[in-house]
Structure 1
Amino acid sequence: MLRPITLLSLITLLPLSATAADWQMLVDERTLSVNDNVVELRHHFHSNPELSNQEFDTAKKIAAELTALGFDEVQTGVAGTGVIGILKGSKSGPTVALRADMDALPVTEKTGLPFASKVTTEWRGQETGVMHACGHDAHMAILLGAAEVLAGMRDEIPGTIKFIFQPAEEAEGGADVMVAEGVLQDTGAIFGLHVMPASAGMILYKPEGFMAAADKFEIIVKGTQTHGSMPWRGVDPIAVSAQIVNNLQTIVSRQIDISDAPAVVTIGSINGGNRNNIIPEQVVMTGTIRTLDMAMRADVHERIKRTATLTAESFGATAEVTIPGGTPVTANDPELTAQMAPVLKRAAANGNAHIVKPIMGAEDFSFFANEIPALFFGLGVAAEGKDSGAPNHSPYFYVNDKALSHGVNAMSSLALEWLYSQTE
């Protein structure tokens, strides 16, 4: 049963060194003091969502907040619409990074909240709503809360903290572009979080593969067009595609050892033909691949190509398979995860921080984690008294504002704990 969350539950009784106790108490106190502003920021971002690579007003708001906090440097236009804030402590030391993503989704909100999004846009030729259905509004508000907490603690900071507000996590041109532009230069470690429909204030994490690699794929099946009444005069790409779909399912169920790591192969769309009595020339299928092991990822890619092409060939058709570069596995550095586990436990509601099974959703935070030691964790944001809620990307996705303070405390504490560990 979920115990009621109070902001006082941030302060737990885990043992701390004298130095850590000093700054941790200050983090706890300042987290309490900035909470109302964090909630207000979250509501603002939620009411004013912007799609990937279009986060112009969002970026302006973030830059203004960081400037008002007296940051040493605020960079805009990074990877298009991203924002970087640099906060230098009064003590010399290394640099650590904290990251939040900024973009919303083409989803029409159905939560009925007083601050629900009313923004609409045209998406792929159709009018749709725009909603922070994945909780990036909470991520930004939490990171700005941590910025406010830490900006008031410069005397306690032995080094530099880099605040990364990343565009386009839901599309292309996000973390990978930021990495290419050098955002991690001279940075020793990075931390990030993602809100999830779990008990409010719970923290979920896992060493090594925490979230899956995600790869899109496209299969173009080409046959020979003919009249629907005379299928023997052509090669039916629809029938061929049906066999390819069936055969693809055996990759996970019969061909790979899923006791090593789970995998998913899903066909998400099939398009072919425009009339009931014409067998078309081609069918286009698209899908997603989810894996948690890099060797298995490469193996699954090859099996998809082989299965599609050979199945098509057996019917006298052809299949062209395209698998462009996707999002790698989000892997947490094992040593860093072990080091920071007590910090996560202190920040979680009632110490409720747990190692969990891997999540088959994907996150482009993985591009940062491929470069430097990283820790990415989940923060539960379900409604009061609930252990779960509507999933991310749902029009009913809900964020419990009472969980935000646990995220602020965790992000602030992780940065300080890492900096102190490097200077001891």
Structure 2
Amino acid sequence: MRPLILPALLAALLAPSASAQTPDAPSPDATTAAKAVQPQVVAWRRDLHQHPELGNQEVRTAKVIAEQLRKLGLQPRTGIAHTGVVAVLKGGRPGPRIAIRADMDALPVTEQTGLPFASKVTSQYRGQAVGVMHACGHDAHVAILLGVATALAAQKQELPGEVMFVFQPAEEGPPNPGETFGAKLMLDEGVFRDFKPDAVFGLHVWAGLPVGQVGVRSGPMLAAADEWSLTVNGKQTHGSRPWDGVDPITVAAQILLGTQSLIARQVNIAATPVVLTAGQFNAGVRFNIIPDEAKVVGTLRTFDAKVREDVITRFRRTAEDFAHASGATAKLEVASNAPATINDAALTTRVRPSLQRAVGADNVVEMPMVTVAEDFAQFANTVPGLYFFVGSTSAGIDPARAPINHSPQFLLDEQSLDVGTRAMLQVALDYLHGGG
């Protein structure tokens, strides 16, 4: 793919004046640079959208990223956490270190948008044939970060500090149960070992906001995600004679109802939101046989680590007590997929003016806590982190009614690519020029 912007031209657009080279001078404005790279960002996004790949299978995506980074004069490291890509840009002046992260993987969703570049890719996911779609917008995240990297590389000599570009696999989860999610695996493999940033930044396109707006909040922003599995063992018997056995289906249903009472009556949800949801209920093979076993799986979403532990303890006790009362047994297993994403308070205060500078003060809105989860939290638990949303729903469409992320009809307004590039670039420039 031929670059659309000559590096020299972009460098001229971004290069600070002589007075701007002092530590106290303002950083360059990102608007012109973001506009210059926008055609290429759109092209990258459309290409990636048409060729989505599931978690830990992002081979083509990683190749595209690495090739673009090499064109910028960078030396990308590949194969981190299976398919992750990392590159470090060293500025020509001393300054702080930052990391900017984008996730790369798509979802097992069959696209229904009707776009001319819609995905027609199919694959296997946990033993099932599935369509594959960038239904969460990770194609946009990759394109935006490549745009930011292009703009920053163009002013390398004038840039203070260093920037690590982190392209992460498997944010939506690894292909097989029990495997490690992408962010944690990258950290386990030492992505921050030799380069520990002073701050890490991430963004997410979000159908719940109109295009042009950016959403952020200090403190807890996205929930922790736990995947739980409840196994109830009873005693198989004929469906016409339930008294001869122990019905695990009824017991499991009682436990599920009990958990909803637990959330409503035992947890102070006025202080912090908690969601406990069952997504699958599997038991039996025939209409007139009460089976030995029932299995229920679901998710727990919390924003506070102590509340999380308390809810899990209460859930386990509820399950075991209901089972014991009926002569059954119950086993609850809980696996953490991601901790809560908590924006560092000092970093949020520092970065909010950069977001306002990029998109206008009126377009930076205060987000409520959102019960979706993000393993960006793993990075933000290692160094101070800041995560923000970029509105992706077109003008004239009510964001409350737009197909949300993960929908087969999720439709991103490409103006959000410019907004995201501009916002992240301004955040990076202001932080670097402002010193550590």
TM-score (norm 1): 0.93
> One-letter code of the match for 1:97?
A
Aligned-residue sequence identity (percent) comes to 47
Aligned mates of 2:59, 2:200 — CA distance in 1: 25
Residue 126 of structure 1 pairs with residue 128 of structure 2: yes
Comparing 343-352 and 123-132, the one that deviates more: 343-352
2:65 is matched with which residue: 56, 62, 82? 62
Alignment match, 1:29: 32
Aligned mates of 1:391, 1:259 — CA distance in 2: 26
Q: Offset at 1:371?
A: 0.6
Alignment match, 1:234: 245
Q: Is the 8 A contact 1:347 1:407 kept in 2?
A: no
Unaligned runs of 5+ in 2: 1-18, 175-180
2:103 is matched with which residue: 101, 104, 118? 101
**SS at the partner of 1:232?**
helix
Aligned mates of 1:208, 1:378 — CA distance in 2: 14
Alignment match, 2:9: none
Residue 341 of structure 1 pairs with residue 352 of structure 2: yes
Alignment match, 2:142: 140
> One-letter code of the match for 2:411?
Y
Q: Offset at 1:349?
A: 5.9
Aligned mates of 1:234, 1:129 — CA distance in 2: 42
Q: Offset at 1:409?
A: 1.3
Aligned mates of 1:21, 1:397 — CA distance in 2: 42
**SS at the partner of 2:191?**
coil
Aligned mates of 2:20, 2:67 — CA distance in 1: 36
Cα deviations across residues 115-172 of structure 1 (Å, max 9, x unaligned)? 0001011233432210000000000000001011111111331111000000000004
Q: Is the 8 A contact 2:41 2:417 kept in 1?
A: yes
Q: Is the 8 A contact 2:27 2:433 kept in 1?
A: no
Alignment match, 2:199: 189
Q: Offset at 1:22?
A: 5.8
> One-letter code of the match for 1:91?
R
Aligned mates of 2:425, 2:87 — CA distance in 1: 14
Residue 41 of structure 1 pairs with residue 44 of structure 2: yes
Alignment match, 2:431: 418
Residue 150 of structure 1 pairs with residue 152 of structure 2: yes
Aligned mates of 2:227, 2:377 — CA distance in 1: 16
**SS at the partner of 2:337?**
coil
Q: How does 1:207-286 map to 2 (within 5 A)?
A: 207-286=218-297
The alignment of Structure 1 onto Structure 2 pairs a total of residues equal to 405
Q: Is the 8 A contact 1:139 1:195 kept in 2?
A: yes
Residue 398 of structure 1 pairs with residue 411 of structure 2: yes
Aligned mates of 2:308, 2:172 — CA distance in 1: 21
2:324 is matched with which residue: 293, 296, 313? 313
**SS at the partner of 1:261?**
coil
1:205 is matched with which residue: 203, 213, 216? 216
Q: Is the 8 A contact 2:273 2:303 kept in 1?
A: yes
Unaligned runs of 5+ in 1: 1-16
Distance 1:21 1:204, change over 3 A: farther
Cα deviations across residues 280-317 of structure 1 (Å, max 9, x unaligned)? 00000001000011110110111110111111111110
- RMSD, matched Cα: 1.5
Q: Offset at 1:226?
A: 0.4
Q: Is the 8 A contact 1:38 1:142 kept in 2?
A: yes
Alignment match, 2:163: 161
Distance 1:393 1:223, change over 3 A: same
Aligned mates of 1:132, 1:313 — CA distance in 2: 45
Q: Offset at 1:396?
A: 0.3
1:84 is matched with which residue: 79, 82, 86? 86
Q: Is the 8 A contact 1:23 1:156 kept in 2?
A: no
Alignment match, 1:298: 309
Aligned mates of 1:300, 1:245 — CA distance in 2: 14
Cα deviations across residues 381-404 of structure 1 (Å, max 9, x unaligned)? 002332412101000001111111
Q: Is the 8 A contact 2:27 2:430 kept in 1?
A: no
Aligned mates of 2:26, 2:41 — CA distance in 1: 24
Cα deviations across residues 334-379 of structure 1 (Å, max 9, x unaligned)? 0000111011112226740011110000000000010100000000
Alignment match, 1:14: none
Aligned mates of 2:361, 2:398 — CA distance in 1: 15
Q: How does 1:352-371 map to 2 (within 5 A)?
A: 352-371=363-382
Alignment match, 2:13: none
Q: Offset at 1:24?
A: 2.5
> One-letter code of the match for 2:188?
A
